[in-house]
Structure 1
Amino acid sequence: MNAPTHDEAHGGTLGARLNWLRAAVLGANDGIVSTAGLVVGVAGATDDRAALLTAGLAGLLAGSMSMAAGEYVSVSTQRDSEKAALALEKRELRDQPEEELEELAGLLRERGLSREVAREAAEQLTERDALRAHARVELGIDPDDLTNPWHAAWASFLAFTVGALLPLLAIVLPPAGWRLWVTVGSVLAALVLTGWSSARLGAAPPGRALVRNVAGGALAMGVTYAVGTLLGAAGV
């Protein structure tokens, strides 16, 4: 009889995957809400299709580039911190190896191993690859899988763009009399989906996430539409 096999992800791989998925959902959500607020606000002032398209495209490009730049800077800082921590750990292993061995054994004891087993495991891990052992156990870093700022930037750019396309297309494609209602309906439906997805990825009950997401998006559209209507009526 063959032993059962499975492809379940473990440890950092699963955690990293969930983080990327969560970031993609939140990026798409930002694209939906910010672009919807922009085009609905402009729709309150004018029903000119060219003006709506221009505003929507400007919001999409500005938002996606801003998200990408922000993620690149943030993740670059995180990567620099990881590299600095690894460099410091490498120096400590070179200058005080016995103290580092004791530290590793202590960390393993804190994870439930007995003193003797922890000491033996620390010695074996140190013989195999001391830096990798300390990076994973002490720092929680995988030296072979440091955060990549370019991956984060592109993921944020694409997620925001995909989200922003929905309200942009919804405001320019339907006939003038249907634009606002189609946009509001499609945006609220999309916010239900992203709220449910973010809750499921975080293993949280979806009810509150759905209410927060939909209420926030509806408020954003309501406020910008009211402002756009007032400005349009004032001839601004």
Structure 2
Amino acid sequence: MEIGTDENPQHWHEEIGDDVGNRLNWLRAGVLGANDGIVSVAGIVMGVAGATSERSPVFVAGVAGLVAGALSMAAGEYVSVNAQRDSEQAMLALEAEELEKMPETELRELARMYEKKGLSRDTARKVAAELTEHDALAAHAEIEFGIDPEKLTNAWHAAFASMISFTIGALLPLLAITLTPLSVRVWATVATVAVALAVAGFIQARLGLSPIGRAVGRNVAGGLLAMAVTYAVGSVVGTHV
């Protein structure tokens, strides 16, 4: 991201738009879903591959992990986001009731909050009065709770984003270990997962404005560690069962 000067103004956030909060929610759901899909299904198929050289058990376990994981991610996101939305709506309802029953008290409270942010008393009162006249509930919700009443998180959007991203991520290790020859399927899966996690880490860093190397490194390292452990467990269990 490039930042301009006073002579050539350029704001870093102009490239990502004004709805940063909603963007971050989508980023969280999408990246977590893809990473979980890649790592969890890779761990499952590698664990089964360590226990048997047959294709059928590996494929069945991978498909079962994909379906169960995708539905679990969708349900988890839907429940958690709905819980957050219900809480936000409850707070907004209470705040609306306070504004109706004691508007002058709420106006003074809003002015005090702006004073605490550094405005002079007269300026804070003027700002509070103008914001109250425009949209009292939005003004109080923003400064007290950090909530925009018009942009509450959509639970269905988060659920579908998680489910789709998990499925896409999970398909990569499943196809890699199923379609490659038995002699190279483990290494082909490791390579596929490493590349996929690197890409996911890169996208996460770019969209989240965080360091690319750190995001890529932790994604790849975590995924490879998980595969190594599950493959070792599968190899040990497979020889004793």
What amino acid does structure 2 have at the position aligned with 1:17? R
Which residue does 1:222 correspond to in 2?
A: 228
Further displaced range: 94-103 or 191-200: 191-200
2:137 to 106, 115, 131: 131
Cα deviation for residue 211 of structure 1 reads 2.9
Further displaced range: 109-118 or 146-155: 109-118
How many residue pairs get aligned? The number is: 231
Cα deviation for residue 10 of structure 1 reads 4.9
Cα deviation for residue 197 of structure 1 reads 2.8
Which residue does 1:165 correspond to in 2?
A: 171
Q: 1:170·1:179 contact (CA, 8 Å) conserved in 2?
A: yes
Instruction: Give deviations 1:146-199, integer Å, cap 9, x for gaps.
Output: 111111111111111111010011011112212111101010111122223333
Percent identity of paired positions between Structure 1 and Structure 2? 62
Cα deviation for residue 207 of structure 1 reads 3.1
What amino acid does structure 2 have at the position aligned with 1:109? E
Q: Aligned partners of 1:225, 1:151: CA distance in 2, in Å? A: 35
Which residue does 1:78 correspond to in 2?
A: 84
Which residue does 1:210 correspond to in 2?
A: 216
Q: Aligned partners of 1:78, 1:92: CA distance in 2, in Å? A: 21
| RMSD (Å) for aligned C-alpha atoms | 2.1
Q: 2:32·2:162 contact (CA, 8 Å) conserved in 1?
A: no
What amino acid does structure 1 have at the position aligned with 2:232? A
Q: Aligned partners of 1:8, 1:198: CA distance in 2, in Å? A: 16
Cα deviation for residue 50 of structure 1 reads 1.8
Instruction: Give deviations 1:9-62, integer Å, cap 9, x for gaps.
Output: 555x12321331233112101110000000011111122222111111000011
What amino acid does structure 1 have at the position aligned with 2:55? R
Q: 1:22·1:201 contact (CA, 8 Å) conserved in 2?
A: no
Normalised by the length of structure 2, the TM-score is 0.88
**1:14-163 to 2 correspondences below 5 Å:** 14-163=20-169
2:194 to 180, 185, 188: 188
Further displaced range: 106-115 or 215-224: 106-115
Q: Aligned partners of 1:171, 1:8: CA distance in 2, in Å? A: 39
SS for the counterpart of 1:142 is coil
Q: Which stretches in structure 2 are left out of the alignment for 5+ residues? A: 1-8
Further displaced range: 201-210 or 124-133: 201-210
1:198 to 173, 196, 204: 204
Q: Aligned partners of 1:170, 1:25: CA distance in 2, in Å? A: 21
Normalised by the length of structure 1, the TM-score is 0.90
Cα deviation for residue 231 of structure 1 reads 2.4
SS for the counterpart of 1:38 is helix
Cα deviation for residue 204 of structure 1 reads 3.0
Further displaced range: 176-185 or 164-173: 176-185
Q: Which stretches in structure 1 are left out of the alignment for 5+ residues? A: none
Which residue does 1:174 correspond to in 2?
A: 180
Cα deviation for residue 106 of structure 1 reads 1.8
